[in-house]
């Protein structure tokens, strides 16, 4: 029963849309009406800059890390995986936004990865930063890091349950970036720049 409670709590925590809540509280605005309309950290950063983008990113990472780490500690690999996956599903389809479109799970998946396979996650973070610095596309950085995650998890000796989770999570991130892929192929994907805050 404790395991089930941890997984349900993971979904509920993942459903807290920090990218919506912080701009609403601090700016009185609905971020879904700005930029790409996404409630993830990337869109918040584009619209409001690092003053809101950084806290949202850290909170999105934390809501993946906490349930996965708790599940791993109390129930082992499978509970950690399921709790982390539940947090990611909550982020993508948040209960507290009526199951409407949420974020693309990158930061939340990163938090889960840091809980389950910290060395692989650290390498993926480094890859994300280097790729972003070189190309200034958050989407490209995110997709490359997602693809690398299960490979690095396997290389660092993660259990098969964790590697399988990483593979599924990677596929989920790629699917949620399919519009970005179309824009990249057509040359219309915008490079990451901070929009002027109102």
Domain segments of the chain as ranges: 2-186
d(CA 15, CA 162): 22
- Higher pLDDT: 7 or 194? It is 7
Question: Which tokens belong to 9?
Answer: 């709590």
Report whether 71 contacts 6 (CB < 8 A).
Answer: yes
pLDDT at 35: 84
Write out pLDDT tens, residues 154-171: 999 999 999 999 999 999
Does the pLDDT at position 195 exceed 60? no
- Quickly state the pLDDT bin for 1 (edges 50, 70, 90): low
* pTM metric for this prediction: 0.89
Question: Nearest CA to 135 among 61, 143, 115?
Answer: 143
pLDDT at 193: 65
Average pLDDT taken over every residue of the chain: 92
Write out pLDDT tens, residues 65-93: 999 999 999 999 999 999 999 999 999 99
Three-state SS for 99?
coil
pLDDT at 123: 97
- Higher pLDDT: 197 or 37? It is 37
Does the pLDDT at position 62 exceed 80? yes
Q: How many residues does the chain have?
A: 198
Q: What percent of the chain has pLDDT over 90?
A: 83
d(CA 47, CA 179): 19
Q: What percent of the chain has pLDDT over 70?
A: 96
pLDDT at 197: 46
Write out pLDDT tens, residues 144-155: 999 999 999 999
pLDDT at 153: 96
* Helix (H) / strand (E) containing 162: helix 160-176
């Amino acid at each position: 029963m404790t395991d089930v409670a941890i997984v349900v709590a993971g979904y509920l925590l993942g459903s807290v849309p920090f990218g919506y809540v912080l701009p609403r509280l601090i700016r009185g605005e609905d971020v879904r009406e700005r930029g790409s309309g996404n409630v993830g950290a990337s869109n918040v950063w584009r619209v409001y800059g690092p003053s809101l983008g950084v806290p949202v990113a850290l909170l999105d990472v934390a809501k993946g890390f906490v349930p996965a780490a708790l599940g791993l500690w109390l129930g082992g690999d499978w509970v950690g995986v399921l709790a982390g996956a539940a947090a990611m599903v909550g982020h993508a389809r948040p209960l507290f936004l009526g199951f409407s479109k949420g974020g693309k799970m990158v930061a939340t998946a990163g938090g889960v990865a840091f809980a389950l396979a910290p060395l692989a996650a650290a390498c993926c973070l480094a890859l994300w930063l280097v790729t972003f610095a070189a190309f200034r596309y958050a989407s490209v950085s995110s997709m490359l890091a997602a693809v690398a995650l299960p490979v690095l998890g396997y290389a660092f000796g993660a259990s098969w349950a964790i590697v399988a989770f990483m593979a599924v999570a990677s596929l989920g991130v790629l699917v949620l970036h399919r519009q970005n892929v179309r824009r990249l192929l057509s040359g219309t994907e915008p490079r990451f720049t901070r929009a002027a805050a109102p």
